[in-house]
Amino acid sequence: MSKPRVLVFASGSAEGGGSGFEKLVEASHGGPLDAEIVAVVSNQVNGGVRRRADKFGIPFVHFSGPWNADGYQRIAKDSGAEFFALSGWLKRVMGLDSARTFNIHPGPLPEFGGDGMYGHHVHEAVVDAFHRGEVTQSAVSMHFVIPAYDRGPTFFHFGVPILEDDTPDSLGTRVNKWEHHWQPQITNLVVHREIRWDGVDPTSLQYPQGYEIRRQE
């Protein structure tokens, strides 16, 4: 029986990035992710994502835009993928099957999501909210993807406590560690349809027996 075929989208940067993609590849080699990573897509032509793809022999696709439905659908069709995993992808997604497209986000949703809320921006906002007494935790979140940023149904939330002396950098480092831990495991549940929805109605979300959407550290 063939494994689910996954296409990863990861922006990275000219200097680095793509560590989540690398962890997914490693997990697909005898780890908790029983799937085939067919390729990785980045809008950076020669950045960290490409270097990691070359390291593992994973096909690399440079997607320079326009980031419209036609562009996404062309890449999806060419890849032969069944599922689309966003791992640090910063462009708006449209034209893909929302029931098979999912993202990981480094903060609680929906409070710390939306256009412009990614990476360090999320950690800054969470730390500021902590000092205002509004939150005590950040989170690793995963959700299905619709065209509105971070507004698809959330199916995973792992709370990461904020420490009194945390800076955005220190909090971000700790959140990223838990992203790397959880992303392959939860991705495996999605690509094997143990976590699923119909792509339209958020109340159609289904989980494995005993699964808890909110896990605390």
Instruction: Walk me through the domains of the chain, giving residue ranges and CATH numbers.
Output: 5-105+141-157+177-216 (3.40.50.170)
CA 70 to chain CA centroid, Å, is 22
User: Which amino acid is present at 140?
Assistant: V
pLDDT digits (tens, 9 = 90+) for 29-82: 999 999 999 999 999 999 999 999 999 999 999 999 899 999 999 999 999 999
Which letter does DSSP use for residue 68 in this model?
S
**Residue 25 tokens, joined:** 């590849």
Q: 216 pairs with which residues across the strands?
A: 159
Which letter does DSSP use for residue 2 in this model?
P
pLDDT, greater one: 80 or 16: 80
Across 110-122, average pLDDT? 96
| The pLDDT of residue 154 is above 60 | yes
Q: What per-residue confidence (pLDDT) applies to 214? A: 56
Euclidean distance between CA atoms 183 and 104, whole angstroms: 7
3-class secondary-structure state, position 157: strand
Euclidean distance between CA atoms 14 and 49, whole angstroms: 9
Q: 61 pairs with which residues across the strands?
A: 41
Q: What per-residue confidence (pLDDT) applies to 194? A: 97
3-class secondary-structure state, position 216: strand
